[in-house]
Amino acid sequence: MASHPRRVGLINARESAHLTQEALAHALGIDPRTVRFWEAGDHRPGLELRSRLAATLRKTPAELDALLHDPVAMTGRPPRVRPALQTGSMPAQPSHAETDDMNRRDLLRLFSMTSASLALPAVTPAIGAGRDGALGPIAVGEFTQLNRHLWQVYAIAPIKGHLLSPVQAQLDVLSASLRRPQAADVHRNLCGLTADLFQLAGEILFDADRYTDAAHCYTLAATAAKEAGSVDLWACALTRHAFIAVYERRFTEAAPMLDLAADMARRGDSGLSTRHWVAAAQAETHAGLGDLTACQRALDTAAEVRPGNAHNGGWLRFDGSRLPEQRGACYVTLGRLDLAEAALTEASGTALTTRRKAGVLTDLAMVGVHRRDVDQVITHTDAVLATARETGSGVVARKLRDLRPKLVPLRTDQRIQRLDAEITNLVGDRAA
Q: What is the pLDDT of residues 141-171, one digit of tens each?
A: 888 988 999 998 888 888 888 888 889 888 9
High-pLDDT (> 70) share of the chain, %: 84
pLDDT at position 429:
59
Cα separation, 2 vs 95, whole angstroms: 37
d(CA 17, CA 166): 8
Q: Which residue(s) pair with 84 in the sheet?
A: 91
pLDDT-derived band of residue 427, with 50, 70 and 90 as boundaries?
Answer: confident
What average pLDDT does the segment 349-360 reach? Answer: 88
| 318, 339 contact by CB (below 8 A) | no
DSSP 87: T
Backbone angles phi, psi at 133, to 5 degrees: 90, -10
Stated as kind and residue range, the H or E segment containing 418 is helix 414-427
Neighbour count for residue 386 (Cβ, 10 Å):
11
SS3 91: strand
The one-letter amino acid at 126: A
Contact 76, 39 (CB under 8 A): no
* pLDDT at 295 exceeding the cut of 80: yes
Question: At 116, is the pLDDT very low, low, confident or very high (cuts 50, 70, 90)?
Answer: confident
Distance of CA 230 to the CA centre of its chain: 21
Average pLDDT, whole number, for the chain?
83
141, 139, 133: which is closest to 176 by C-alpha?
Answer: 133
CB contact burial 99-137 (16+ within 10 A = b; e otherwise)? eeeebeebbeebbebbeebbeeebeeeeeeeebeebbee
333's enclosing H/E stretch is helix 323-334
- Phi, psi angles (nearest 5°) of residue 336: -90, 80
CA–CA separation, 82 and 336 (whole Å): 60
- d(CA 212, CA 286) in angstroms, rounded, equals 24
The answer on pLDDT for 411 being more than 50 is yes
| Nearest residue to 242 via CA among 221, 224, 225 | 221
Asked if 139 and 190 touch (Cβ cutoff 8 Å), the reply is: no
Cα dihedral: 156, 171, 99, 44 (round 10): 70
Q: What is the per-residue pLDDT across 176-233, written as a single tens digit (0 to 9) for each?
A: 888 888 888 999 999 999 999 999 999 999 998 899 999 999 999 999 999 999 999 9
pLDDT tens figures, 256-294: 999 999 999 999 999 899 999 999 999 999 999 999 999
